[in-house]
Chain A
């Protein structure tokens, strides 16, 4: 299925450039802060929140950050439990 194509490694593309990475990170940080600050603007708050947690202006930011961190940092240990050699089933079938 794969086509013939050349192999090159080490060529720097636009996404590999430090300037792009810094700019991306800068935009991300600014946007994240703006979203967090927007959570405290009274006119933009939910009129009838379903849960007390929603009244905390940065609840979703905290929960999103914590959830992602937990998934990655805790989840990677699952590999120790269920990870096997790539040909694990081929050897047995």
Chain B
């Protein structure tokens, strides 16, 4: 029992989880300050632990390592703490206890998953992340968000069930719960079923193509702060898991490239700018997945770190506009730069960073991935990633700030963002620029120090390559605007893969429910009819009026006795 509590106390994720439950007993106005305090405790715990394995537990004869801090898990753990702090500051003054609880408990679960040294611990936190995050989807409390939350939960739980299946199969194959490099294929090149199941579990959470649409379905329906928190953690936990278990897996290269490409087109035609950013998550995670496939773990981890900051900044800026105007629709926004200049400027920093302009966090991290594709001599992959980079510029670099703050004048003149939001966005923007100009502190956190030692982002070639790509893409945008070929935003719903389970899938379920009800009624009718007929027959024989219940007169009995005796005599005589 002592070992159990020691294991709990060694885990920063447990500190955050306990802190989250305490929120229910605190006065509402203290919740955010408490969240900051608990996050500070967790960060100190992480720092004092240092690299190593902690929190060993023996369960059913197997040793579990509940905390593993190594260079790969450390960079994710560090950026998760930064993200929690930014979220808490952004949501300062938020009084909703359920959201405040989820604001700590959900990142805690993802942190626990990142620090998990074995598959059982990973599974526990994986499911905790699903359960705690759904409160953020449900937070607005409408029927639409309830249904979206249920769909989200079903998909997340499916991922958890697959993970559990993968864990069981892996244990049967290897006799171990170790969460390490497993690879998709065995020594003979055949796909391992256990690894494939696990791969799918990670794939659902990292939103692989065709499995991606839970992001666009659930995240934009959450609250302002909820959408920001959701956008950060789940997919990055999945990216970490892929980087841990499947580095250098060839299939991931192509899955990643497809992930970077297809969301670009959906983002182009999407009117809801929060949904545009959700497509951007798919696209950005695609870069990380591709990097994992290429074996460029520095690229995946570094870009995950950067993306959490600059994508979060874009979500925050859009959230601030939404807070002031009540909408995130491009058709209803525009012209806000006149009264929200600070938010606009901070949003542009995020946009420049996600587009990977030199001097920003995006530039010093994305280059690791593009260079990785070049060094692998995969021309089409490299070309695809460059194409996707132009796409990022289009939907995240230009569309978000342009339609929110410029474009047509919506006539709205709201105040600039509230101070806590500005502080959070300011810190994020400072990180985007600070680490973009001086990336050494970030590079020191990257898992493969030998590889990063040879990488220099600010070479003349890198700068020219990136500036050519981006400036000429911006020029294309300017021309399209001038000749009025850039498509106008249209209020619409764009179908995506969720259509399959929301329309035909729902119809099929309704039909199946109706058919099973009709079948049951018919079977019950047949059964109860037969039983009633049998009971009627029994009643007719044994009931008060039945043959067997009739009273027999003595004379009748004497007559029958005489007949039977006569029959016996006749038979005896004949015999």
Residues of A within 8 A of B (CB): 1-3, 5-11, 13, 15-16, 25, 28-29, 31-32, 35-36, 38-39, 41, 43-46, 50-51, 53, 58-65, 67-69, 71-76, 78-79, 82-90, 92-93
Q: Is there contact, CB below 8 Å, between B495 and A64?
A: no
What 5 pairs across the A-B complex have the smallest Cβ distances?
A2-B326, A9-B411, A67-B390, A60-B468, A64-B469
**Residue in B326, B464, B485, B496 whose beta carbon sits within 8 Å of that of A73 in the complex:** B485
Q: State in angstroms the CA–CA spacing of A26 and B324 once bound together.
A: 34
In the assembled complex, 7 residue pairs joining A and B whose CB atoms fall closer than 8 Å, in A order, are: A5-B414, A28-B474, A38-B460, A60-B465, A67-B386, A72-B480, A87-B493
Additional A-B contacts beyond A2-B326, A3-B323 (11; CB < 8 A): A5-B324, A5-B325, A15-B406, A25-B478, A35-B472, A67-B473, A71-B265, A75-B265, A78-B265, A83-B493, A86-B491
**Size range of the interface on B?**
35 or more
B266 CB to nearest A CB, Å? 7
Q: State in angstroms the CA–CA spacing of A41 and B464 once bound together.
A: 10
Q: Is there contact, CB below 8 Å, between A72 and B394?
A: yes
A71 CB to nearest B CB, Å? 5
On whether A29 and B490 interact (CB within 8 A), knowing A7-B412, A60-B469, the answer reads no
B486 CB to nearest A CB, Å? 6
Which residues of A are found within 8 Å of B494, using beta-carbon distances? 78-79, 82-84
Which residues of B are found within 8 Å of A38, using beta-carbon distances? 460, 464, 467
Which residues of A are found within 8 Å of B350, using beta-carbon distances? none
**Closest Cβ neighbor of A88 among chain B residues:** B493
Q: Is there contact, CB below 8 Å, between A39 and B468?
A: yes
Count chain A CB atoms within 10 A of each CB in B265, B323, B460, B464 and give the residue with the most: B464
**Closest Cβ neighbor of A13 among chain B residues:** B338
**Closest Cβ neighbor of B406 among chain A residues:** A15
Q: Which of B184-199 contact A (CB under 8 A)?
A: none
B58 in the interface (beta carbon within 8 A)? no
B224 in the interface (beta carbon within 8 A)? yes
Q: State in angstroms the CA–CA spacing of A65 and B480 once bound together.
A: 11
On whether A84 and B394 interact (CB within 8 A), knowing A62-B472, A71-B264, the answer reads no
Q: Which of B392-425 contact A (CB under 8 A)?
A: 393-394, 406, 409-415
Q: Is there contact, CB below 8 Å, between B412 and A64?
A: no
Q: State in angstroms the CA–CA spacing of A32 and B467 once bound together.
A: 8
Q: Is there contact, CB below 8 Å, between B375 and A50?
A: yes
**Closest Cβ neighbor of A40 among chain B residues:** B464
Q: Is there contact, CB below 8 Å, between A82 and B326?
A: no
Count chain B CB atoms within 10 A of each CB in A29, A46, A75 and give the residue with the most: A75
**Residue in A2, A31, A51 whose beta carbon sits within 8 Å of that of B325 in the complex:** A2
Segment of B47-55, B131-139, B376-384, B561-569 in the binding face: B376-384
Q: Which of B429-465 contact A (CB under 8 A)?
A: 460-461, 464-465
Which residues of B are found within 8 Å of A88, using beta-carbon distances? 493, 495
Q: State in angstroms the CA–CA spacing of A93 and B322 once bound together.
A: 26
Q: State in angstroms the CA–CA spacing of A92 and B121 once bound together.
A: 40
Q: Is there contact, CB below 8 Å, between B409 and A11?
A: yes
Q: Mark B199-225, 1 if CB is under 8 A from A, else 0.
A: 000000000000000000000000010
Q: Is there contact, CB below 8 Å, between B475 and A65?
A: yes
On whether A35 and B269 interact (CB within 8 A), knowing A68-B477, A79-B492, the answer reads no
Q: State in angstroms the CA–CA spacing of A15 and B224 once bound together.
A: 28
**Residue in B268, B415, B470 whose beta carbon sits within 8 Å of that of A76 in the complex:** B268
**Residue in B264, B324, B386, B503 whose beta carbon sits within 8 Å of that of A63 in the complex:** B386
B328 CB to nearest A CB, Å? 11
B501 CB to nearest A CB, Å? 12
Count chain B CB atoms within 10 A of each CB in A44, A71, A72 and give the residue with the most: A71
Q: Is there contact, CB below 8 Å, between B413 and A5?
A: yes
Which residues of A are found within 8 Å of B394, using beta-carbon distances? 68, 71-72
Which residues of A are found within 8 Å of B471, using beta-carbon distances? 28, 31-32, 35, 61, 64
B289 CB to nearest A CB, Å? 20
Q: Is there contact, CB below 8 Å, between A92 and B264?
A: no
Q: Is there contact, CB below 8 Å, between B464 and A8?
A: no
On whether A84 and B492 interact (CB within 8 A), knowing A11-B338, A64-B472, A68-B473, the answer reads yes
Which residues of A are found within 8 Å of B477, using beta-carbon distances? 68, 72
Q: State in angstroms the CA–CA spacing of A24 and B486 once bound together.
A: 18
Q: Which of B217-254 contact A (CB under 8 A)?
A: 224
On whether A13 and B502 interact (CB within 8 A), knowing A65-B476, A79-B269, the answer reads no
B9 in the interface (beta carbon within 8 A)? no
Q: State in angstroms the CA–CA spacing of A46 and B490 once bound together.
A: 44
Q: State in angstroms the CA–CA spacing of A69 and B390 once bound together.
A: 10
Q: Is there contact, CB below 8 Å, between A60 and B485?
A: no
Which residues of A are found within 8 Å of B391, using beta-carbon distances? 67, 71
On whether A90 and B144 interact (CB within 8 A), knowing A5-B415, A32-B471, A68-B473, the answer reads yes
A31 CB to nearest B CB, Å? 5
**Closest Cβ neighbor of A30 among chain B residues:** B471
